[in-house]
Amino acid sequence: MRYFLIAFLFLPIFYSNAQDASNASAQKKAPMGSVTTRSNSPVVTRSNDIKGSKRTDKSKAIWYPKGKAPKHKAGVVKETSEEEDANSARGMLKEESAAYRKEAARLQSLRDFNGALTYYKKAWQFDPNNIETVNDLGVVYESLNDPSSAVVMYKKALEMNPNYLPAYTNLAFLYESRNDTRNASYYWQKRYELGRQGDYWTNIAKQHLIDLGTYPEVHKAKMDKEASLLVQDLAYSRAERAQDNIKDARLHFYMGTQLYSKKNYGEALKEFESALALNPQDEDLRLQIMDFYKKTEEAYAKDKILTETQDALSYVKDDDYYTAEEKLRSALSTVYRASQEK
């Protein structure tokens, strides 16, 4: 009976230990990522089946409530970084293009035109906006006796920049070598017109136009253009001078009226004559000057007649009849002119 009581007391402890061992064994057998239930049956779950979500990085796992995870916002720093990356990429492409161009030029100098063509094409592929590469391709195509492709490249260069002078020169040479005088003259003319006077290639273009017999036309066109500009400049200068003439005429007219009011008719006439000589392009002003000029001329004539007649009488009193006669003759001559003008 005593042994039976001891066994009864220790029975719960043995049962508990066995249960723990059984649970541990079940956990070891459960697959990774599963959840062990009370019944010890492993149940595989997904993260979407539970509330919240897990965002992990390489260092640690952080749990955020659902919808509360922080969001990365694009900022200035990121845009600047992208722009720098783009500039860096473009720089690398241009460096690659320059390396290919250098090798192409080397092969071209060795008269390996097929090899040069290959490398110029690669250079153009890496930097399609390099106009010099496009022009170089035209030169190589010419060397390979492919004028059609050369023309395409030269004209492509002019599409990229209508003021790119080497392309005009190369097209002129190409057409001239094929006895195409019309096209050769056209491109030599463009090279001549766009070039600076005294420039080496401008003079070369002029000489070729002379040799082709088309220089006079180019020269005439250039002279007509220069003449047109000169006419515009002259017209502008005349307009400026006309305004200046009006200002000067007004000044002389004002001075003349002041002298007229002081009965200094001789000096007033000089001022009015100076005003009219400027031929001011102001009709009202010109009419005013002419009106005052006539009035002043009449007043001057009358004053001269009276003065000379009085002088003649004075000489008669002094018995100087010879001088008196001269004064009277001058007075009568003035009277005659005044009467004719009226």
DSSP string spanning 78-138?
HHHHHHHHHHHHHHHHHHHHHHHHHHHHHHHHTT-HHHHHHHHHHHHHH-TT-HHHHHHHH
Question: Which amino acid is it at 12?
Answer: P
- For residue 8, what is the enclosing H or E element? helix 2-29
Nearest to 263 by CA among 198, 220, 228, 307: 307
Domains of the chain: 78-226 (1.25.40.10), 245-341 (1.20.58)
pTM, rounded to two decimals: 0.42
Cβ–Cβ < 8 Å for 17, 10: no
Residue 241 clears pLDDT 90, i.e. is over it: no
Q: What is the pLDDT of residue 39?
A: 31
Contact 314, 326 (CB under 8 A): no
Encoded tokens for 236:
């502008």
Residue 64 phi/psi, 5-degree rounding, is -120, 145
What tokens were used for 112?
């390996």
How large is the average pLDDT for residues 288-307? 85
What digits encode the pLDDT tens for the residues 74-103?
Answer: 444 445 567 776 777 778 888 888 999 999
Going by C-alpha positions, the residue among 288, 212, 213 that lies closest to residue 250 is: 288
Q: In 214-303, which ranges are E strands?
A: none
8-46 residue pLDDT tens: 444 444 444 444 444 444 444 444 443 333 333 333 333
How high is the pLDDT of residue 222? 61
| Dihedral angle computed from the Cα positions of residues 290, 294, 299 and 303, in that order, rounded to the nearest 10 degrees | 110
Which carries the bigger pLDDT value, residue 93 or residue 121?
121
Please give the backbone phi and psi of residue 53, each rounded to the nearest 5 degrees, phi first.
-140, 160
Least confident stretch, 149-158, 192-201, 206-215: 206-215
pLDDT band at 338 (very low <50, low <70, confident <90, very high): low
Q: Which residues contact 96 (CB under 8 A, 6 or more apart)?
A: 126, 127
